[in-house]
Chain A
């Protein structure tokens, strides 16, 4: 899903970084099992709130409203690379902290790359029909609260189909899991980049998420 060369960019310079990246990529590719539940639904606007039709998915916040302003439907999904990766990272933390660090980073990039693939596939399907897809948006981006994750899980029955669970702090388990929504419209919507809506904007030293 991602290359060792790409991962090495985040780990430093030289052969050591590449060797470490190779190990991490190998570990993750052995443990990762990419699975998702996805759906599309008409977008309903009611009393200033946004809903996916026939579901309990409610999209809260100004930033998501801005992203979806020209859209009449949404594509949403939960995607995970599975619980085995969590076990792997826990194990490495106790035996090889260096590799644990690289593997954790790698797994994060892995699930993102998987989401990119889902997004790309959906965009291609829609473009055949003359429709467009905005960039994806996740709970915790901008002002969309992390607590919205539960409505993604419920609407997609991701607890049943993917075995997703939420921690009391609102984090999804398996930990390398993403829930996201993207808008479907007719025009190329003018939407903000991930950096502009990121919670770390201003304090981020740059580019760890790939942007």
Chain B
């Protein structure tokens, strides 16, 4: 059994050497040589073993079914056989697993497909190697999937390395620290960096890696930086320079060394001869950290967890979940990130909706638009696991509590996926109302985490915020327990806003409570980040401390503050609707709508004020007086005015529009700016837009039409390759709905092409509105 804490010399540039010795052209699948020319593969392995490698990688870097199809198993099996023979008991053999080379997620292959392909590679090797090495990963998502497939389909130890550019990030944007924090908790035996750079460029990254993980570290650089010359790749440093640089890396504390592209057996030999000792490594200092694939948040001071991705008590959010309006939800994430959230809590639990499916969509969506770590917030372990599988970072699970069933189901997930965990101070008997009661549960959970193999720095105890107005003394109890938890060395977390429930001007109380919690040592604070800049007030603080007469004083103070705001609003002098919308002034449009609603009905505001304003915008656009950006800004402003009307209509029970327009960017296409502009403009004309998003499967379009018929279908495509998918979509929908009108558009669509596939061509958003008006009239 291999001991990763020993000094280990890995092999070198198996790929470059195979290409050179076999004469294969650049880009040839070198794994085929396992069958076509096993002798050359053997000779390369053998030379590295003779040079002093303790571990050789099998010639299976690209041996997966996406590249080799049905030959995969045969090629992997042959590769292992050759490597074993060459190792001849003198070196360990690692099953080498490289990236699938496919985009994972939207527009590419699915998570499951990627997983299945990696699992197939692992199973094909049948544990006939001594270990598995996953290497040259540039996409952390890809790396995690490969790792999950390895851990779930084999009992062999796994080494994992990624490739980074000179700036310290992988091509997909992952930095060394986020990589280390994410992967270290997922059951790998050693983590490392390989390829892309030479040892000189890699040295600072090796140092960073050592600081961010307690695991053994391996470094496998190229022989300098690559250049292509006449179809050949050449590298810029020689074996002496390579060895000197590797010696320095070894001195830092890296005990596993090897080479990547360009490092011939001579490079490895000199290194094996000179590096004899186990590296001495400085002690690892544990750090409280969470990360996403592109950034790490270290909780050294108090950090803000944005709380707004949560349907509780939010009608608009609930509607978004019910209608699958994920854009709205993702926008909440972006806004919170922009207003100061360090971390985002994600809770999509709502009765009558698919929590698991929605959680996966939101987690995947957020990772594309914000670089913030996520908190996976659910009471259902199945939902938590689904999210953790897809989350490319070190997440925080919210939450486990003192009930045995919760401990048994949640802690193993935190351990398996390397996540941190929130521990709620409650159990089978409910929430204790004393400091001692909550601390006792908190401490028990800390020790349960320890037993489950979760480090103390990854535990955050929540001493629970309860409404002070409901029970005097709540704040004092929560804060008291918090101080005790701080002494244990575990982290802490609190939702803040609950404290002010039932009180006026809640922001003041929240801000004051936040300040007091910070003084008590709070590490993570769950709050609406736009509130963090509000100054705490004396009145609120006295109320929270339960001082005599403080409640009354606070209410009087709050009432005064509110009346000022109302006066400001009433005296506002807003321009009329047309000026507001044409000028793209969203706030003015909203305020105008509010004023008009005091006098006339919502539908009248729409018909007499907003629609004429939009028509004017349309005219200006068509006559070339304004341009697309202004058109979009105008549509956005009108949207704000409409939002006011919608609220009003909901209150008075007016039915929403039944002129439905199902809109999608076709399968295979991920360009959706044009479709989004159409959506923004069309919704303002009172049509109900059902936006299916982009890269939409045929079947999903058909299902949406079925659900909404009678409706008009709108399809967009930007590429010649996906225009065909538009035709297929129309064909499928027409089989069932021969009379449906289909509007089509997008960069590559011409009027002729539209006609040939049975669609109505719309050159832009305005044309779409005209066609929709014509059809519905």
Contact = CB atoms under 8 A, between A and B. Distances in A.
Interface of A: 11-13, 16-17, 20, 33, 35, 37-42, 52-57, 82-84, 86-87, 89-91, 93-95, 97-98, 100-102, 104, 140, 146-147, 151, 154-157, 159-171, 173, 175, 199-200, 202-203
A41 B138 CA distance: 27
B26 A166 contact: no
B629 A20 contact: yes
Interface pairs A-B: 7 shortest CB-CB: A163-B171, A12-B627, A54-B231, A56-B27, A169-B668, A167-B107, A165-B103
Contacts of B195: 160
A200 B763 CA distance: 14
Contacts of B636: 97-98
Given A98-B632, A98-B636, A170 B172 contact: no
B672 A93 contact: yes
14 contacts: A11-B628, A12-B630, A17-B627, A38-B228, A54-B230, A56-B25, A91-B334, A161-B196, A163-B138, A163-B170, A163-B172, A165-B101, A168-B668, A171-B669
Nearest to A80: B171
Interface string B621-643: 00000111110110110000000
B668 A167 contact: yes
A40 B230 contact: yes
A95 B331 contact: yes
Contacts of A52: 231
B231 A55 contact: yes
A151 B670 CA distance: 22
A57 B173 contact: no
A55 B230 CA distance: 10
Nearest to B23: A54
Nearest to A86: B368
Nearest to A55: B26
Given A11-B628, A168-B109, A173-B107, A100 B334 contact: no
Given A53-B231, A97-B676, A199 B167 contact: no
Contacts of B672: 93
A160 B670 CA distance: 23
B283 to A, nearest CB: 34
Contacts, number: 168
Interface in B213-242: 226, 228, 230-233
Given A12-B629, A54-B231, A95-B331, 13 more contacts: A12-B628, A12-B630, A16-B630, A17-B627, A37-B228, A83-B171, A94-B334, A95-B334, A98-B632, A155-B27, A161-B171, A165-B108, A165-B139
B636 to A, nearest CB: 6
Given A162-B171, A167-B668, A98 B719 contact: no
Contacts of B722: 169
Nearest to A103: B673
A98 B136 CA distance: 38
Interface residues of B, number: 66
Given A140-B720, A167-B108, A54 B670 contact: no
Interface of B: 25-28, 99, 101-103, 107-109, 136, 138-139, 163, 165, 167, 170-173, 195-196, 226, 228, 230-233, 327, 330-331, 334-335, 338, 368-371, 584, 626-630, 632-633, 635-636, 668-673, 676-677, 680, 719-722, 725, 747-748, 750
B167 A146 contact: no
A168 B673 CA distance: 20
Contacts of A37: 228
Nearest to B621: A12
A17 B630 CA distance: 9
Contacts of A160: 136, 138, 163, 195-196
A184 to B, nearest CB: 12
A11 B630 CA distance: 9
Nearest to A165: B103
B139 A17 contact: no
A126 B636 CA distance: 51
A35 B630 CA distance: 33
A16 B585 CA distance: 13
A93 B226 CA distance: 37
A53 B228 CA distance: 13
A160 B226 CA distance: 12
Contacts of A84: 173
Nearest to A146: B721
B748 A17 contact: no
A11 B163 CA distance: 39
Given A39-B228, A156-B228, A159-B99, A83 B721 contact: no
A199 B747 CA distance: 10
Q: Which of B172, B584, B636 has the most CB of A within 10 A?
A: B172
A155 B27 CA distance: 5
B696 to A, nearest CB: 12
Contacts of B103: 165-167, 173
Contacts of A35: 165
Contacts of B635: 97
Nearest to B753: A203
Nearest to B232: A54
